[in-house]
Amino acid sequence: MNVLITGGGSGIGAATAKRLADRHVVVIADRNKAAADAVAAEIVSAGGKAIAVEVDVSSAVSVKAMMEAIPGVARPLGGLFNNAGINIRQPIDEITELGWDAVVNTHVKGVLLVSQAVLPEMLAAKRGVVVNTASDYSIIGAPGLGAYCAAKAAVYSLTKVMAMEFTSRGIRVNAVGPGPIDTPMLRAGRAPAEAEARLEMHKAKIPMKRMGRPEEVAAVVDFLLSERASYIAGQIIHPNGGLVMW
Ligand SMILES: NC(=O)c1ccc[n+]([C@@H]2O[C@H](COP(=O)([O-])OP(=O)(O)OC[C@H]3O[C@@H](n4cnc5c(N)ncnc54)[C@H](O)[C@@H]3O)[C@@H](O)[C@H]2O)c1
């Protein structure tokens, strides 16, 4: 199967690309083209098939250009991992319009635009699998993360609507909803010592008393994309060490 992974240049997306690449052709799409190139090169040097493309998932123009840049060898796309994401930390009374738009447009509009671009290929083939990246924060709140929590709640909602609209047409849509995973996103915007203190705070609350690894989310995405998940649609699965039990 040919699988498009947005945000594949780092963290969870990169781990998923590497895990899938022994069985699938992976298209690594990222706004950071150099990062996508590096992940693709690592996969190719290990004997896998990977292609890197540039995209800003929040821009329809950019998504169209990305689709045009994906070569025939990776078509039709049978799998889509909508994973690109960003975060800002601003309490509700301080969220700027710019920050809100960046977060909500990346997560929510990004899932919509990329899905709209890929679904026609899946519908024509009458088969396909989509995994959206939700979060524990799709179902619980977190102070200072109003835009992010609202965006992730919307991604979970979109997942259910997409599953309702496309399951009967051969396309399974689900979401992975990670808890705290040690990726660059969690450390971004913090000094190293502050980031470590933050991770320790997370760990204390997690029943497994440790952060998740990107590879542990990749394993869930691999499962949801596979035939082993053939009767699962419209669900959110949380690799979170037991932090949120839903
Ligand atoms: N790390 C966590 O604890 C955690 C928990 C729950 C959910 N998530 C979600 O998992 C996904 C991946 O996050 P991560 O932790 O691997 O972060 P990361 O920062 O390591 O990777 C995110 C990638 O997305 C790319 N990206 C950002 N905006 C983009 C855009 N507009 N267009 C294209 N690419 C873009 C970045 O360049 C980066 O390569 C995100 O949706 C995030 O919200 C992460």
Which residue, judged by its Cα, is nearest atom 14 of ligand 1?
A: 11
Q: How confident is the model at residue 188 (pLDDT cuts 50, 70, 90)?
A: confident
Q: What is the pLDDT of residue 190?
A: 87
Choosing from 131, 176, 183, 237 the residue with most ligand 1 atoms within 8 A of its CB, the one to mutate for a pocket test is 183
Contacts of 177 (CB under 8 A, 6+ apart): 134, 135, 136, 138, 139, 152, 156, 236, 237, 238, 240
Q: How confident is the model at residue 68 (pLDDT cuts 50, 70, 90)?
A: very high
- Cis ω before 76 (30° cut-off from 0): yes
Please spell the DSSP secondary structure of 78-136, one letter per residue: EEEEE-------B-GGG--HHHHHHHHIIIIIHHHHHHHHHHHHHHHHT-EEEEEE--G
pTM: 0.98
Q: Which two tokens stand for residue 120?
A: 């026609």
Choosing from 55, 185, 190 the residue with most ligand 1 atoms within 8 A of its CB, the one to mutate for a pocket test is 185
What is the pLDDT averaged over residues 31-41?
Answer: 98
Name the residue type at position 79. G
Contacts of 124 (CB under 8 A, 6+ apart): 76
pLDDT tens for residues 160-180? 999 999 999 999 999 999 999
**Of the listed ranges 120-129, 190-199, 230-239, the one predicted with least confidence:** 190-199
Q: What is the pLDDT of residue 39?
A: 98
pLDDT tens for residues 84-122? 999 999 999 999 999 999 999 999 999 999 999 999 999
What is the pLDDT averaged over residues 211-232?
Answer: 98
Q: What is the pLDDT of residue 43?
A: 98
What is the H or E stretch that residue 77 is in?
strand 77-82
Q: What is the pLDDT of residue 246?
A: 78
For residue 145, the cross-strand partners are 90
Q: What is the pLDDT of residue 187?
A: 86
What is the pLDDT averaged over residues 190-218?
Answer: 94
Closest CA to 71 of 27, 36, 33, 29: 27
Domains and their CATH numbers in the chain: 2-179+215-237 (3.40.50.720)
CA distances from 56 to 37, 159, 204 (A): 15, 20, 36
Q: How confident is the model at residue 126 (pLDDT cuts 50, 70, 90)?
A: very high
Q: Measured between alpha carbons, how far is 240 from 202 in angstroms, rounded to an integer?
A: 11
What is the pLDDT averaged over residues 234-238?
Answer: 98
156 included as an active-site residue:
no
Ligand 1 and 37: CB distance under 6 A? no
Q: How confident is the model at residue 2 (pLDDT cuts 50, 70, 90)?
A: very high
- Cα angle at 173 between 65 and 136, to 5 degrees? 100
